[in-house]
A = this chain, B = another copy of it.
Amino acid sequence: MHAWLLPEAVEDLLPEEARRIEMLRRRLLDECERWGYRLVMPPLIEFVESLLGEADDDLDLATFKLVDQISGRTLALRADITPQVARIDAHLLNRQGVARLCYCGSVVRTRPADLFSTREPLQLGAELYGHAGLEADHEIIRLLARILELAGISSPLLDIGHVGIFRALTGGLALTHEIEEALYAALQAKDRPALAELTQDFPEPARTGLRMLPDFYGGAEVIRGAAACLPALPEIHRALGDLQRLAGELADLSLSFDLADLRGYHYHNGVVFAAYAGANAGPVALGGRYDGAAARFGRVRAATGFSLDLRLLARRFEAKEKAMAILAPWPEDEGLRKRIEALRAEGNIVLVALPGDVACRADCDRRLVRRGEEWIIEPFEGD
């Protein structure tokens, strides 16, 4: 086994890709700041109780555990940043009213999500706390659309769902964790036979309602269809009203609706969404409402947000080409050193030729040469 081999689904980002990611990172974080989202940087490791909620088996399995030599307790290497930002909002900022926060950092997973995924996504996201009204969902979806536009995805497909409908239908059933997981999987896969089997002993209106959910997928018309067909429960009425309002307010975006999409239903409890872009089969961003998920940090707060993998996003981002460098001879005198300093201060890349290094020529299209007392820049011509 060679020392230079990396583990499966773990990669270096080499100069060209690293530069593209860095440029996109700056551009997206700057936009978040201009929308009032303030940057936070939570740590890579925390006690496992802080990072993992109660019910989220998937996140637990995805999370590397470590032993803290200082306390003897179990630490986790973060596999998701959102719970950390919720903790910061709940406890550290403890701000009255609305808090807008954003972040960008690496997370590590024990296994890749699929054959093409990395185990170390670079998670960028924005979270809006303290506003239960639909305006927060609206703002977060608009911010996501803008972020994707800045990343070169001008018309993403935004697929919107509402976990409240599923919760309203299953609320009184006292389902076991296993049944809930199976229902979730059947709905995500729109697997009607499995859904029929799972719900065969369910009382009405849960049985009929759940079996119908996979049918409601498409444009804004599915909301009206669902309102006509789904059981007339007040929570369902409210959820469909929310979706209807978003469909109207966000009509300039490419929206679709999917009432069987419960993505992240473990902690989500309102409007949820996924963004898709042309070539990528999977979503490029995920988000939704998770009111009260920070209760374990001692504060119940309304919350919504999105997150995405910047490494995935950067693959389709066309960064401005790196400028070619100016080649300077090794600066024996103070005058040349000052000249190089000034050129760099103007934003130029200046490579100093180390004695014997001929390969550096490849990165340069101009060079500094002495003409009398002056150092001038001239284009490189072949010798």
Contact = CB atoms under 8 A, between A and B. Distances in A.
B43 A92 contact: no
Given A7-B68, A344-B34, A298 B2 contact: yes
Contacts of A277: none
A355 interface: yes
Interface string A15-32: 100110110001001010
A278 interface: no
B64 A66 contact: yes
Contacts of A18: 38-41
Contacts of A6: 43, 46-47, 50
Interface residues of A, number: 93
Nearest to A19: B39
B98 A354 contact: yes
Given A22-B29, A87-B3, A45 B347 contact: no
Interface string A63-107: 010101111010101000000100110111101111011000110
29 contacts: A1-B49, A3-B87, A3-B296, A4-B50, A4-B90, A4-B298, A6-B50, A7-B47, A7-B68, A7-B75, A10-B43, A11-B43, A12-B92, A14-B88, A14-B92, A18-B39, A18-B41, A31-B344, A34-B347, A36-B360, A44-B106, A44-B108, A44-B120, A45-B64, A96-B359, A97-B360, A98-B354, A98-B359, A100-B351
A334 to B, nearest CB: 8
A272 B26 CA distance: 34
A93 B17 CA distance: 13
Contact of A71 (B3, B7, B43): B7
Nearest to A17: B41
Nearest to A31: B344
A45 B296 contact: no
A350 B5 contact: no
Contacts of A133: 354-356
B120 A344 contact: no
A383 interface: no
Interface of A: 1-15, 18-19, 21-22, 26, 29, 31, 33-36, 38-47, 49-50, 64, 66, 68-71, 73, 75, 77, 84, 87-88, 90-93, 95-98, 100-101, 105-106, 108, 110-111, 119-120, 130-131, 133, 135-136, 139, 296-298, 325, 330, 344, 347-352, 354-360, 363
A95 B357 CA distance: 11
A87 B14 CA distance: 12
Contacts of A100: 351
Contacts of A10: 43, 45-46
Contact of A45 (B4, B7, B43, B344): B7
A73 B10 CA distance: 14
Residue of A9, A41, A90, A330 contacting most chain B CB atoms (<10 Å): A41
Contacts of A41: 12-13, 18, 21
